[in-house]
Amino acid sequence: MVDQSELNRLFWQSRRGMLELDVLLVPFVKEVYPGLDEADQQRYRKLLSCEDQDLFGWFMQRGEPEDEDLRRMVRMILDRVQPQ
């Protein structure tokens, strides 16, 4: 179970001030994050520590993170909005 104060903190960290990132990250943290297992929650928190320009490039599919954990999380977020 995810603590409400943690969700609030993650919500504000997910608001990046760049619309393209906000529309991906904010709904993800609200709707998906609470149901993730601990390992994926940790991956999401790790993703939030990345620079906005890196996130933007990954989500616009101009590149992929070298880190496997970050790559998994980017793919999970993209798959949610671009179902195969």
Rounded average pLDDT over 1-5: 84
Query: Could you report the per-residue pLDDT of 45-56, keeping only the tens digit for each?
Result: 999 999 999 999
**Burial class for 35, CB neighbours closer than 10 Å (0-12, 13-18, 19+):** exposed
Phi and psi based region of residue 17 (left: phi greater than 0; alpha: psi -120 to 50; beta: remaining): left
In angstroms, the CA 28 to CA 81 distance is 10
Q: pTM to 2 decimals?
A: 0.92
Query: Could you report the per-residue pLDDT of 6-47, keeping only the tens digit for each?
Result: 999 999 999 999 999 999 999 999 999 999 999 999 999 999
Domains and CATH numbers, the chain: 17-79 (1.10.150.250)
Query: pLDDT-derived band of residue 84, with 50, 70 and 90 as boundaries?
Result: low
Position 82 scores a pLDDT of 85
Question: How many separate helices (H) and strands (E) can be counted in the chain?
Answer: 5, 0
